[in-house]
Amino acid sequence: MDAHEMLKNNVVVEGHRDVYEQLYRKSLGEANPLRDAIAPRLIRDGINVSVYAISGDSYSHTQNTGRYLETALENIDMFLEEAPRSEGMISLIKTRSDLPDKVRTGSIAFILHFEGGMPLQGSIHQLRNFYRLGLRSMQLTWNFRNELGDGVWENRTKGGLTRFGVEVIKEMNRLGMVVDLAHMNREGFFQALDAAEAPLIVSHANACGMLDNPRNLADDQIKAIAQQGGLVGILALPERVAKKDATLDDLLKHLDYMVELVGVEHLALGLDFIKYDGPRTLKDQHHPLHERTYVKDFEEIEDLPKLVDGLARRGYKENEIALILGGNHLRVLKTILPEQSVI
């Protein structure tokens, strides 16, 4: 099995990438960083669809201003301005028909995502307005508490979803938006599963059975997501992979563990690479001068052939690898996204 051929011949879905690199490059004066730098690199390295966290609860998502609603609009505007300048290289996924059924050479499609619901500012009207602008996926929370519920760093309170959080899930289901439970605390996680009327996903997380960590999932959570027809995307942040000196082999052990629990049909690529993000704010507990660490041999999307080779060495068949690379994600998206825009 040739890893490069696998990536060239199968639709690859990157389940989570932040807007941070785009904002950083913009701050340095680049006029079209997504068109001129980010998208060409992702295309070169085999990505066909990227779930793009255009905003969210992180202070860094707000361009370090704390203006969540306003900067979400600004970030979306940057995307919507750049995409038409790309001469067809960049497209936006709004409906099922926008999903690629095969590799589209030289192009990449983005799904706009919020990593937490703070830009809504507690308003269901803003959810609908962002939907009109192209938003099709949202995590309910990031690490902290917002108007929808509690993130994983709020576990002391044992608080879950708010009534507004339940209302948001119901409306996202009606509109055809992906409800993402990454970063959600345990109580809210199961309350969301009860409230939802469509499959849910956890876009980027690993298994507590391999490494007990607040951002990873317990066995019953992984099984519950699978039972509702959803999926879990593996996460390539080293502190969520191993206690120290995380390697690609360690990450693949997480994937093996979850496949053993629920089957290969419910695993995907979450990844959440940070190599090119630029400095973060102190408010996000990412010190700008702190030296970043990466999973050994798997630092960014250009290392994807190593993951394919690792899967092959572990006995995964080509059709199973294709499911992990993007087939599973496409299947779930086709069950959630609207056939046509609802509003």
| Residues 152, 184 contacting (CB under 8 angstroms) | yes
The predicted structure's pLDDT at residue 285 = 54
The predicted structure's pLDDT at residue 290 = 58
Can you name the CATH fold of 3-336?
A: TIM Barrel (3.20.20)
Q: Is the pLDDT of residue 284 over 70?
A: no
Closest CA to 201 of 268, 155, 153: 268
Report d(CA 68, CA 70) in Å as an integer. Answer: 6
3-state helix, strand, coil in the chain (%, to 5): 45, 15, 40
Q: How long is the chain?
A: 343
The predicted structure's pLDDT at residue 156 = 84
The predicted structure's pLDDT at residue 283 = 59
Give the domain ranges of the chain.
Answer: 3-336
Q: Is the pLDDT of residue 95 over 80?
A: yes
Measuring CA to CA, how many Å separate 8 from each of 36, 47, 104, 249, 311?
Answer: 21, 9, 10, 23, 16
The predicted structure's pLDDT at residue 1 = 78
Report d(CA 246, CA 138) in Å as an integer. Answer: 28
Q: Is the pLDDT of residue 287 over 70?
A: no
**pLDDT interval class at 155 (50, 70, 90):** confident
Encoded tokens for 333? 């998206």
How confident is the model over 92-104, as a mean pLDDT?
Answer: 96
